[in-house]
């Protein structure tokens, strides 16, 4: 082997070692950087016709399990969506009240029944009459408070939808920019590990808003597909998705004939293809969960008012003094049920004259399978008149409209502004039992969301730990590699020093 060749081999070893040392130093300095993955380079021996020419270090590359990354991001989207659901439903649960607080909707209706039973023992007691009227007012107030909380949560879901669309567009632009830079550097033969780390972080953030499946291309390009099979464009100059602001009320809905705007891509409505993450949860809350909550409250309030009215006591009305027609479907505008929980109130006539709780407000004509005849107590009638109180206690607040005749079942289907929603429970026949059931169903959704969030966060943490083991920086391993590289550097330096000494000796002989 010539001295020139020895010099060249040693020099290539020094250069390769220097580059490897730089990789180790970079790994150590970024050990605590979020999203950073370990970069390693492989050394390749160079030879021609079996003659060694030295060594060359390859490009610094990262070793990342893409399937593990995708699973971590999926769990991140699940956790983010559950957190949104938990947050919005927590406010509704708080207004419903704790099961043992005594002020839930079912409890207030039970309290109303209790005051009416107390009044039945002394129908002419004005104090008991006022107590019963106040209990009825409390029921109406609780309906309004819960319905307002549902409406506020639904508006937050609509506003959150718009915010998430804006965030998704910003995320897609960032990913598009990083992808263009990665493709350019690959074409120029430059390392792209750090840019790929940044893109993975951007994809992780995007997946919390809208879970996507990333298809990696050999040239560094990327194709993003949603869970619904929708391809998302990567454009650094524009917004992929678009939507608009809207005020949401009890009669608002998304779909044909609705007033809630959809989300479009290139002018095409793609709302139903966007699921998962925060955006998907906001859409589900806005279009399914909260409209159902609203409808269940409306049905309960409407049935309560209608059943009292059917027995001869208009105890509850809407803002215009109307009583809903529960014989019609919930979504039928003529029924007056939609949004009734927001406006239910104590009848102004009863408020000003609580004695009507004893006497009744209007006559009733018997109907087949319905309430029997009733004539109100006249002004000069008996002070101990109890016929009406018997009717409302036994029937308005019970399961029957008359002896041996059941009330029509409280509907569980045909709910929502578009009549397409269904309650997840079988309604009880009495208003009190129905109110207690809907309270339990609505408040349990928050607990389920909390459990889902905790589980998803735990899975995500476990996956992140695995990624850290496989792709993160282990300071101890890097320090061990550093020592090996220092030894290799010293060995190559000794080769060059020895070759230099031999060269100097040869020159001395020549002289």
Range ranked top by mean pLDDT from 43-47, 192-196, 206-210: 206-210
CA 50, 56, 62, 67: dihedral to nearest 10 degrees? -20
Radius of gyration of the chain from its Cα atoms, rounded to whole angstroms: 37
Inform me whether the pLDDT recorded for 324 exceeds 90.
yes
The reported pLDDT for the residue numbered 22 is 65
Domain residue ranges in the chain? 3-63+474-510, 69-457
CB neighbours of residue 37 within 10 Å? 24
What percent of the chain lies above the pLDDT cut of 70?
82
Residues in the chain: 511
pLDDT digits (tens, 9 = 90+) for 58-78: 566 777 888 888 999 999 999
Determine the Cα–Cα distance for residues 230 and 216; give it in Å rounded to an integer.
16
Q: How confident is the model at residue 232 (pLDDT cuts 50, 70, 90)?
A: very high
Q: Is the pLDDT of residue 46 over 70?
A: no
Distance CA 38, CA 473 (A): 5
For residue 406, pLDDT over 80 is answered with yes
What is this structure's pTM?
Answer: 0.87
- For the stretch 152-166, pLDDT in tens is 999 999 999 999 999
- Neighbouring residues of 294: CB distance < 8 A, sequence distance ≥ 6: 147, 150, 151, 154, 250, 339, 341
CA separation for the pair 479, 489 (Å, rounded): 15
């Amino acid at each position: 082997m010539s001295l020139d060749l020895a010099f060249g081999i040693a020099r290539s070893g020094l250069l390769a070692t220097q580059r490897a040392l730089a990789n180790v130093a970079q790994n150590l300095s970024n050990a605590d950087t979020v999203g950073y993955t370990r970069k390693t380079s492989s050394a390749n021996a160079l030879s021609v016709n079996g003659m060694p020419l030295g060594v060359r270090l390859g490009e610094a590359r990262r070793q990342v399990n893409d399937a593990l990354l995708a699973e971590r991001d999926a769990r991140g989207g699940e956790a983010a969506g559950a957190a949104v659901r938990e947050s919005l439903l927590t406010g509704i649960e708080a207004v419903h009240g704790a099961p043992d607080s005594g002020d839930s909707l079912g409890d207030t209706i039970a309290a109303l029944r209790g005051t009416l039973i107390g009044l039945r023992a002394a129908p002419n007691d004005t104090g008991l009459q006022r107590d019963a009227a106040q209990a009825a007012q409390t029921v109406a107030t609780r309906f309004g408070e819960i319905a307002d909380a549902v409406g506020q949560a639904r508006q937050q879901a609509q506003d959150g939808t718009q915010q998430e669309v804006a965030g998704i567009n910003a995320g897609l632009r960032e990913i598009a920019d990083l992808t263009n830079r990665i493709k350019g550097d690959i074409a120029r033969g430059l390392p792209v590990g750090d840019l790929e780390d940044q893109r993975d972080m951007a994809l992780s953030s995007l997946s919390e808003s809208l879970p996507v499946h990333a298809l990696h291309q050999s040239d560094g390009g990327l194709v993003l597909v949603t869970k619904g099979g929708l391809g998302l464009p990567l454009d650094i100059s524009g917004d992929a998705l678009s939507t608009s602001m809207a005020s949401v009320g009890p009669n608002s809905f998304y779909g044909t004939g609705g007033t809630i705007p959809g989300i479009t891509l290139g002018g095409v409505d793609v709302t139903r293809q966007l699921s998962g993450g925060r955006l998907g949860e906001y859409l589900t809350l806005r279009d399914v969960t909260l409209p159902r909550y609203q409808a269940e409250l409306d049905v309960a309030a409407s049935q309560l008012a209608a059943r009292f009215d059917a027995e001869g006591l208009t105890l509850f009305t809407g803002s215009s003094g109307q009583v809903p027609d529960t014989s019609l479907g919930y979504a039928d505008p003529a029924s007056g049920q939609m949004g009734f929980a927001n406006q239910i109130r104590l009848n102004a006539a009863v408020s000003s004259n609580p004695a009507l709780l004893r006497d009744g407000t209007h006559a009733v004509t018997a109907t087949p399978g319905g309430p029997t005849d009733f004539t109100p107590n006249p002004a000069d009638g008996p002070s101990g008149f109890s016929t009406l109180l018997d009717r409302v206690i036994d029937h308005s607040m019970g399961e029957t409209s008359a002896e041996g005749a059941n009330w029509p079942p409280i509907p569980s289907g045909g709910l929502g502004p578009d009549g397409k929603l269904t309650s997840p429970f079988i309604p009880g026949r009495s208003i009190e039992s129905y109110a207690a059931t809907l309270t339990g169903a609505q408040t349990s959704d928050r607990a389920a969301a909390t459990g889902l969030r905790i589980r998803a966060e735990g899975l995500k943490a476990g996956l992140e730990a695995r990624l850290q083991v496989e792709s993160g920086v282990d300071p101890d391993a890097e320090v061990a590699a550093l020592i090996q590289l220092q030894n290799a550097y010293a060995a190559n330096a000794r080769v060059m020093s020895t070759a230099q000494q031999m060269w100097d000796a040869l020159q001395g002989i020549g002289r």
